[in-house]
Amino acid sequence: MAPAPAFDLVFTGGEILTMDEARPRAEALAVEDGRIAALGSEAELRARAGNAEFVDLEGGALLPGLIEPHCHPIGTAVLGQAADISGFRYDTRAQVMEALRDAVADAGSDEWVIAFGWDPVLVEDLEPPSLAELDALAPDQPLLILTQMMHVAYLNSAGYRAAGIDEDTPDPPGAGAFLRDAEGRLNGAIFETEALAEVLDAMPLPPEGGVDLLFSWQLADYARAGYTTLGITGPVSPGEDPIQSIEEVVADPTSPVRAFVYLHPEQLDPERTPVGTGGPRFAVKGVKFSMDGSPYAGGAAFSEPYRNTPLTLDRIGLGRDHRGEPNYGVEEFVGLITPFHEHGYQIAVHTQGEVAIDRALDAFEIVLREHPRADHRHRLEHNAAITPGQLARARTLGLTTSFFIDHVYFYGRALPELVGSPLAERFMPMAWALDAGHHVTLHTDNPATPIGPLRALRTAVTRVPRGASDPLGPDQRISVADGLRAMTIDAAWQLFEERERGSLEPGKAADLVWLSENPLDVDPAELAEIQVRGTWIDGRPADLSRWRLANVWLAARALWNTVVAKLFH
């Protein structure tokens, strides 16, 4: 009998948490040719190691590389260049306004000024800016202020002119509006993404290669946090072809993460880009829709009206007894999603409120009855207010759920004032979803909240909001083990990637994360303190260098195109 082949890499000296129910733990793990070759005792694998490199886990834990199923890294990369006015940084309206004045002063006389992070929930005196106030901040330069969740923005008069928007401009079809005062005049506020897109489309494009470089740098931040795979839901790119941008960066063999993409419907031509376009590091999985908006902008379609409180009336600027509305009727939504369903795409739908969730469920039920398709795994995203009945119905229809658990951490203390205590207690009900038999995943929706998988895990397990000592909705807490599954094997399943990644089994890709401690042995309140010591993708350490060769090329291209633009334009 021929001897067993030697390995390239062997991990020992810690606990191997496999996320494989058949073999949950191991002493050692071996890698060969980018694949997991074997798991077993340290003695067994040392005997077969040959000239393998050994990695001492130093008492830590090795897990499958973490998977973020819902994020926007291009948006994060671009917004990293904007003025930061977030509630994570500032506590008062005066501080936010001073930061805006500084950003305007630092910008060129004809340059767009962009600020990100306006957050009336975290900044307790942050009432909406008037158009007059925006014009006083920037009389001549276009000024765009994006709220933290990016479902509302504010634009000054110079910005309206630069974007070609005036009193006669109609609201875009679907979700979105240029808000107006009682006399029908533009008031500086922009509601929802379709309207915001008309402003973003009017901005000058950065030099070719510039956004790609920022995007590549951003991917390294995900790897530093422990991620090896991203689900990019609705790419936001200043360029004309987000698929090309993502593929060029992620398909590079030195990229520190993989990315699987859900495009906006207008970005996706089923004939030109069939489902699965790409390869093992980048692939088009599906399409992203939004059935409602953000809870913090009045856009979530809850079954009960928002509470009438200083937060909703004064800081967010909602009317009394405000109700968010779904973006689509059932038949309209059926018409939108049917072509993508028939072409085999996975459909992901932003659904926060019960009314929006019912609308999506009604539409999926019709589509699946008229066009049956096995194992489609269509997705409901965020699910702030989903009920046990809706979870059961979603399970029957074959839908899968992903939860934006950071709402509980960053906004939990404000939720009773926003939606009332009963709904606040069951916000993001992951325990109900597990009880209903779902493959539950959790996400941070970056840039809506900072990258932080271990913080998200802690929140799912403890449900203790930032600045609080007691849990919000303790009945919705989940176990650490279930939380880890939500970020590994269940997230892989949600992305149709469970055969390749998500658990540590022989034959699967060696996508790995090394943690300083075993999350199963740590006090749940301390989970976010665990350190990420390294990640591997296809058995190679993730290259986190800012100037790896691929990034040098992107920087050179951006510089060249900037020079050409200045010379010839």
State the pLDDT at residue 293.
93
Q: In what order do the strands lie in the sheet with 282-290?
A: 66-71, 227-233, 258-263, 282-290, 346-351, 379-382, 400-403, 441-442
Cα gap 247→261, rounded to integer Å:
10
Q: Is residue 144 part of a domain?
A: yes
* Residue 278 DSSP one-character state: B
Q: What SS3 state is found at 564?
A: helix
State the pLDDT at residue 208.
67
Q: In angstroms, what CA-CA distances link 560 with 30, 215, 546, 557, 565?
A: 44, 18, 19, 5, 9
State the pLDDT at residue 565.
55
Domain count, the chain: 1
Closest-CA residue to 282 (of 260, 315, 254)? 260
Task: Name the helix (H) or strand (E) containing 390.
Answer: helix 388-397
Task: Name the helix (H) or strand (E) containing 244.
Answer: helix 242-250
Q: Is 315 exposed, middle or buried (0-12, 13-18, 19+ CB in 10 A)?
A: buried
Q: Is residue 106 part of a domain?
A: yes
Cα gap 283→122, rounded to integer Å:
37
DSSP E strands in 157-240: the ranges are: 177-180, 186-191, 227-233
CB 367 within 8 A of CB 400: no
Residue with the two structure tokens 């902008």: 297
Q: Is residue 527 part of a domain?
A: no
Task: CATH number of the domain at 91, please.
Answer: 3.10.310.70
State the pLDDT at residue 273.
87
Q: Is residue 367 part of a domain?
A: no
- DSSP characters for 396-426? HHT-EEEE-THHHHHHGGGHHHHH-HHHHHT
Q: Is 201 exposed, middle or buried (0-12, 13-18, 19+ CB in 10 A)?
A: exposed
Token pair of 390, please? 């809706």
State the pLDDT at residue 549.
73
Cα gap 174→234, rounded to integer Å:
16
Cα gap 144→179, rounded to integer Å:
15
- Tens-of-pLDDT digits for all 569 residues of the chain? 455 668 999 999 999 999 999 999 999 999 999 999 999 999 999 999 999 999 999 999 999 999 999 999 988 888 888 899 999 999 999 999 999 999 999 988 888 999 999 999 999 999 999 999 999 999 999 999 999 888 889 999 999 999 999 998 998 887 788 999 988 899 999 988 788 888 888 887 666 667 888 889 999 999 999 999 999 998 766 555 778 788 889 999 999 999 999 999 988 888 888 999 898 999 999 999 999 999 999 999 999 999 999 999 999 999 999 999 999 999 999 999 999 999 999 999 999 999 999 999 999 999 999 999 999 999 999 999 999 999 999 999 999 999 999 999 999 999 999 999 999 999 999 999 999 999 999 999 999 999 999 999 999 999 999 999 999 999 999 999 999 999 999 999 999 999 999 999 999 999 999 999 999 999 999 999 999 999 999 999 999 988 787 777 677 766 656 555 555 55
Q: Is residue 164 part of a domain?
A: yes
Q: Is residue 477 part of a domain?
A: no
Q: Is residue 316 part of a domain?
A: no
Closest-CA residue to 403 (of 499, 472, 490)? 490
Phi then psi for 8, rounded to 5 degrees?
Answer: -90, -35
State the pLDDT at residue 567.
55
Cα gap 549→380, rounded to integer Å:
39
State the pLDDT at residue 516.
99
Q: Is residue 135 part of a domain?
A: yes
| Buried b / exposed e along 444-483 (16+ C-beta atoms within 10 A) | bbbbbbebbbbbbbbbbbbbbbeeeeebbbeebbbebebb
Range of the domain at 185: 73-200
